[in-house]
Amino acid sequence: MSEQHVIIAGGGMGGLTAALALLRRGIDVDVYEQAPQLRELGAGLWISPNGTRVLRELGLTEAIDAINLGARDRVVRLWDSGEQWSVYTRQTGSDHNLLMVMRSELHRVLVEAVQAIKPGAIHLDARVAGFTQDEQSVQVQFEDGRVASGTALVGADGLHSKVRAAAFGPSPGRFTNAIAWRGLVPVQRLAPHHREPVASTWLGSTAHVTSYPVRRGEQEYVSFSGQAESSKWTVESWSEQGSIAECLQDFQGWHQDIIDLVENAETLYKWGLFVRDTLPNWSNGRVTLMGDACHPMVPYLGQGVNMAIEDACVLARALAGGSAQDTQAALQRYSGARAERGALTVQRSLGMQYVFHNPKLGNPETAIGYVNENWSPAKMKERYDWLFSYDANTVAI
């Protein structure tokens, strides 16, 4: 191991990917997670090519392939009629192919990979209270009185990041007048056609829904997430439970396939979609940020977890080969390589709200023309190629 010792606050996808990337480069790491146990809520994740490249480079190809239940086709559908358009099929070899995995399964893969290199790397029930730093080190204080010392601190502690608040001050969220629903449905509860390996994005005038197949062991599910415009403020928490009746109100008149998903979900989660001012610089001395701690975004481009994975890779590359004395400069290089892309992804994700939601989709006479225009091959390339072609393994730092 090098003389560097990185403390990571947060044991989610980004924090664990960063830990693995650092450990594989010979840099010592300790991860401090506020939850009392390691778990992720059951839901699906899209991992796009920009994220997949990093995971495969980290030696996770076999483990990822074992949990991936990729769809043979990705389609967009009209909210009421169900009419559909194929965006790509697996057979085309499109660069837009996605991994479709259970969030909890990917989390397990990352935990096991970190623990295989350093069994005691992950510490639970550790809530950050603050930190102090000097020219040689950073000391992290936890609410239970523990103190950890390292050469760098990485805030991977999410939307309500304590590290961000301590390093850069408060960052209030602004409600986007939209809420998100998320659910997971065992396929046994659904009609047979729901079991087809197809990823669907349903488009509507004021809401949209994305659904796709995932699995945990031998059990298959349909994961769905729906975003609906709402002027009613909702708590900003991924773990806030909502009711079936309330969710159905947001999708009144929608196709029976969507109603089936809502009514048969094991548990429904509901949260408000907020944005925050982006930071031009993510690093302050020996402290830096990653993932939702520095670029929280709405889910309309499916890039939240992918941006965190990219961050993890570039951070590890910036720190690799250096010394403890080089840490501050390395963290500035990391921020310089990532902040602009993070801010652009935040902006473009927010802009997609009124592409997925448009009054023309509520009118049968204008809906088909709208879909043909906005999901043409040219539009798909414009929307996604700049995201998917990025390679965090080789980008200049």
Question: If we measure between CA atoms, which residue out of 117, 142, 125 comes closest to residue 59?
Answer: 117
Burial 73-95 (b: 16+ CB within 10 A, else e): bbbbbbbbeeebeebbeeeeebe
Q: What is the secondary structure of 109-158 as a DSSP string? A: HHHHHHHHH-TT-EE-S--EEEEEE-SS-EEEEETTS-EEEESEEEE---
Give just the sign of the alpha carbon dihedral 22, 25, 29, 31. positive
Catalytic entry in 32, 88, 212, 334: 212
Q: How far, in Å, CA of 287 to CA of 376, rounded? A: 43
Q: How far, in Å, CA of 385 to CA of 363, rounded? A: 30
Full strand arrangement of the beta sheet holding 128-133: 128-133, 138-142, 147-150
Tokens linked to 354: 């009124």
Beta-strand pair 44-47/28-32: unpaired
Clarify whether 370 is annotated catalytic: no
Q: What are phi and psi of 343, to 5 degrees?
A: -65, -40
Question: If we measure between CA atoms, which residue out of 345, 352, 41 comes closest to residue 178?
Answer: 352
Distance between alpha carbon 358 and the CA centroid of its chain, in Å? 25
By residue count, the chain amounts to: 397
Active site residues: 212
